């Protein structure tokens, strides 16, 4: 598993900002609930993901927000390592290769070819496809792109 520290930091900041906004708080209101004296600028850089937050500071912020740190980190981990990037659909080539729907035959043939040539990332044959690739595949399968996306998500 590759770890992109900048992405992890940005997603962590985004989750912190979401928690604060969900409570309807400004940064100042959050800052008033912290034990440490940190600047509003520092809070902003944590939320923007441009500054690393220490473990102790993260626990303090989570406590002020009424959030368990391990739950916050679980969400960050899921967003960084499990979710497909925005605008892309996660596709499991192995599952597509085993699917027997007749209309997905061209897609199945493509998945088998990708698996045979070994051009897939390690760990299960999952890839992410953009809209252009999905549109072309839908055309090859003679179905609408929306239907293909729904079918791919059902196969997962």
Token representation of residue 154:
């059902």
Dump strand ranges (E) for the chain.
88-92, 126-130
Token representation of residue 145:
């792109």
Is residue 45 within 8 A of residue 17, CB to CB? The reply is no
Q: Please determine, for residue 64, whether its predicted confidence score (pLDDT) is greater than 50.
A: yes
Picking from 36, 39, 35, 37, the residue whose alpha carbon sits closest to that of residue 27 is 39
Q: pTM (2 decimals)?
A: 0.56
The pLDDT tens digits for 92-146 are 888 999 999 999 999 999 999 888 887 666 556 778 888 888 888 999 999 988 8
d(CA 90, CA 129): 7
Is residue 149 within 8 A of residue 115, CB to CB? The reply is no
Is residue 88 within 8 A of residue 129, CB to CB? The reply is yes
C-alpha triplet 93, 87, 134: angle, nearest 5°: 45
Is residue 47 within 8 A of residue 20, CB to CB? The reply is yes
Picking from 93, 88, 76, 87, the residue whose alpha carbon sits closest to that of residue 3 is 76
Tokens 């912020």 correspond to 61
d(CA 112, CA 127): 13
The pLDDT tens digits for 21-50 are 999 999 999 999 999 989 999 999 999 989
């Amino acid at each position: 598993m590759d770890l992109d520290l900048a992405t992890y930091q940005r997603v962590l900041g985004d989750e912190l900002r979401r928690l604060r906004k969900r409570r309807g708080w400004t940064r100042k209101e959050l800052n008033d609930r912290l034990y440490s004296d940190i600047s509003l600028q520092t809070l902003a850089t944590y939320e923007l993901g441009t500054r690393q937050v220490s473990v102790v500071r993260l626990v303090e912020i989570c406590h002020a927000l009424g959030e368990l740190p391990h739950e916050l980190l679980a969400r960050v981990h899921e967003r960084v390592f499990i979710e497909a990037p925005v605008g892309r659909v996660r596709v499991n080539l192995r599952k597509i290769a085993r699917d027997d729907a007749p209309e997905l035959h061209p897609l199945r043939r493509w998945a088998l070819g990708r698996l045979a040539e070994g051009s897939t990332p390690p760990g299960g044959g999952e890839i992410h496809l953009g809209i252009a690739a999905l549109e072309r595949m839908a055309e090859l399968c003679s179905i609408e792109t929306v239907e293909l996306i729904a079918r791919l998500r059902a196969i997962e």
